Chains A and B, each alone.
Chain A
Amino acid sequence: MSIIIENIHKSFGEAHVLKGIDFTFKHREMNMILGGSGGGKTVLLKTMVGLLPPDKGRVLYDGQDFWALDVRAQRALRTQIGMLFQGSALFDSMTVEENVAFPMQMLTNAHKGEIADRVSYCLERVNLPGKHKLFPSELSGGMKKRVGIARAIVLQPRYLFCDEPNSGLDPQTAKVIDELLVELTYEHEMTTIIISHDINSVLNIADHILFLYQGKKEWEGSRQQLRETDNIPLKTFLRTSGLIT
């Protein structure tokens, strides 16, 4: 259940954003993609979840190349992918309950009772019981993220992608979200990939780190190795983040 990316290239006009990235995202681990703004993190994530086709290279889910699959097979694979977006991307016109139920209603033949049970379970799991009937506009930033997580896990995905899960949150709420993601990763045995430039989050929860710099894989390793690195761009990034002096 690992994800392997091989020689991923992506350009937008003259801008060569991803320049041949290889990496293995390990199963049942918190894989984090670290890097400065404009380093290609989000573009890499989008090529992995099927939103942007790479110009070159392969994205292998359990050996299956996502971009070589036909539409039907891609669609089947997508049901195993959950994603938490930076701004949560909840559907404004739907209540919390409808947002979480949406993937089940659209992609499964589950009956109403089954969907309601699963929605209640997911909302309780993200500590949002009793919020079923609220609309996204009535939720705080942290609550929106938690609804986004509930929606992402409702189909019991094997792969969970999170784009800046802590952005815009206070440190306490960010910690709650981090802990929730760790718990869910181990509980559901998922391969979790998180984009972040929150260094506290990286140090608290990352098992396996990919550092992108100028569109290339600059460094990879564990969080222990991160502190002892002598990689200059990474050290500069960490120094700017205040982790080392």
Chain B
Amino acid sequence: MFLLLHHLGRYFLMLGSLFVAREKVRVYVDGTLRETYQLGVGSLMIVLITSVFIGAVTTVNTAYQLSSALFPPSLIGSIVSTTGIMEFAPTITSLVLAGKVGSNIASQLGTMRVTEQIDALEVMGINSTSYLILPKLLGALIAFPILIIVAAFLQHLGGLVAGEVAGIIPSSVFHQGVMNVYDPFQVQFMLIKSVVFGFLITSIACFQGFYVRGGAFEVGDASKKAVVRGCIAILVSDYVLAQTLL
């Protein structure tokens, strides 16, 4: 318990230190653009693959469970759309990104720490937390919602194509089902989740990497912890957001 409070305290101190003794604004603008590009473009392929297949599998699974004359076929489109927007696009995509982005950030910062690159920044008088972490957080807050919108679109597309190709549901009926249940609040909910998950994944990974002590083994360990803790944070906050906002 004491250890948990100790880590939480350090985590919030780290977040607080992002906003004191900052560098020139240009440094953050350049850094944020670079991080947004790396995170966004670098993650596009994995988001594309996972989203298309999740959409396709959801359609097939839903059709299997609703194989009764009591349910109209358009319900498949409605279910794929609602679960995609509200849960699968933000949550599954974020879990995938926690692995890719979280481990990348933790190992990058961890390596900088053990090779004294962070010490070099501090000796120069540069606020190392703000210089290294703030652009990553801002980049994630921009890139995550975009990636998750793309993921939601691709899940719909994957579901629609799988339904048509397998002869489960014609695309026009699928589309009708999507439109029957469309509610703008669902999209707002998805975007809120994407911002929260993006912040948690990035800040946890930065925390794990930035405070590494030791060598290569510890950097690997920090990378693993960044992924595990990032995933747990996503799942817990997913429940809290659902409970609070729905």
Could you tell me which A residues sit within 8 Å of B by CB distance? 49-51, 71-72, 74-79, 81, 83, 85-87, 89-92, 102-103, 106-107, 161
The CA of A107 and the CA of B126, in the complex, are separated in Å by: 8
The residue among A81, A91, A106 with the most chain B CB atoms within 10 A of its own CB is A106
Q: Which 5 A-B pairs have the closest CB atoms?
A: A78-B125, A89-B116, A89-B120, A75-B125, A85-B116
Q: Which residues of A contact B45 (CB under 8 A)?
A: none
Q: Which residues of A contact B120 (CB under 8 A)?
A: 83, 85, 89, 91
Q: Which residues of B contact A71 (CB under 8 A)?
A: 20-21
Query: A81–B123 contact, CB under 8 A?
Result: yes
Query: B117–A91 contact, CB under 8 A?
Result: yes
Query: A78–B124 contact, CB under 8 A?
Result: yes
Q: Given A50-B122, A72-B21, A89-B119, 10 more contacts at CB 8 Å? A: A71-B21, A74-B125, A78-B123, A79-B124, A85-B120, A86-B116, A92-B117, A103-B124, A106-B124, A107-B125
Could you tell me which B residues sit within 8 Å of A by CB distance? 20-21, 23-24, 27, 111-112, 115-117, 119-120, 122-126
- Minimum C-beta distance from A169 to chain B (A): 17
Query: A89–B117 contact, CB under 8 A?
Result: yes
Q: Which residues of B contact A50 (CB under 8 A)?
A: 122-123
- Minimum C-beta distance from A16 to chain B (A): 20
Q: Which residues of A contact B112 (CB under 8 A)?
A: 92
- Minimum C-beta distance from B80 to chain A (A): 42
15 contacts between A and B (CB under 8 A): A51-B119, A51-B123, A75-B21, A75-B125, A79-B124, A79-B125, A87-B116, A89-B115, A90-B117, A91-B117, A92-B111, A102-B124, A106-B24, A106-B124, A106-B126
| Nearest-CB residue, chain A, relative to B126 | A106
Q: Which residues of B contact A89 (CB under 8 A)?
A: 115-117, 119-120
Q: Which residues of A contact B122 (CB under 8 A)?
A: 50-51
Please report the number of residue pairs spanning A and B whose Cβ atoms sit closer than 8 angstroms. 51
The CA of A104 and the CA of B117, in the complex, are separated in Å by: 17
The CA of A75 and the CA of B20, in the complex, are separated in Å by: 12
- Minimum C-beta distance from B95 to chain A (A): 28
The CA of A149 and the CA of B2, in the complex, are separated in Å by: 43
Q: Which residues of B contact A49 (CB under 8 A)?
A: 123
Query: A83–B115 contact, CB under 8 A?
Result: no
The residue among B23, B111, B123 with the most chain A CB atoms within 10 A of its own CB is B123
Q: Which residues of B contact A77 (CB under 8 A)?
A: 125
- Minimum C-beta distance from A81 to chain B (A): 6
- Minimum C-beta distance from A174 to chain B (A): 20
- Minimum C-beta distance from A106 to chain B (A): 6
Query: A85–B124 contact, CB under 8 A?
Result: no
| Nearest-CB residue, chain B, relative to A84 | B120
Query: A83–B125 contact, CB under 8 A?
Result: no
The CA of A77 and the CA of B125, in the complex, are separated in Å by: 8
- Minimum C-beta distance from B13 to chain A (A): 15
Q: Which residues of A contact B116 (CB under 8 A)?
A: 85-87, 89
- Minimum C-beta distance from A50 to chain B (A): 7
- Minimum C-beta distance from A35 to chain B (A): 20
The CA of A75 and the CA of B125, in the complex, are separated in Å by: 5
| Nearest-CB residue, chain B, relative to A103 | B124
- Minimum C-beta distance from A36 to chain B (A): 21
- Minimum C-beta distance from B117 to chain A (A): 5
Query: B124–A107 contact, CB under 8 A?
Result: yes
- Minimum C-beta distance from B104 to chain A (A): 13
The CA of A11 and the CA of B91, in the complex, are separated in Å by: 45
The CA of A74 and the CA of B125, in the complex, are separated in Å by: 8
The CA of A77 and the CA of B124, in the complex, are separated in Å by: 9
The CA of A79 and the CA of B123, in the complex, are separated in Å by: 9
The CA of A106 and the CA of B23, in the complex, are separated in Å by: 7
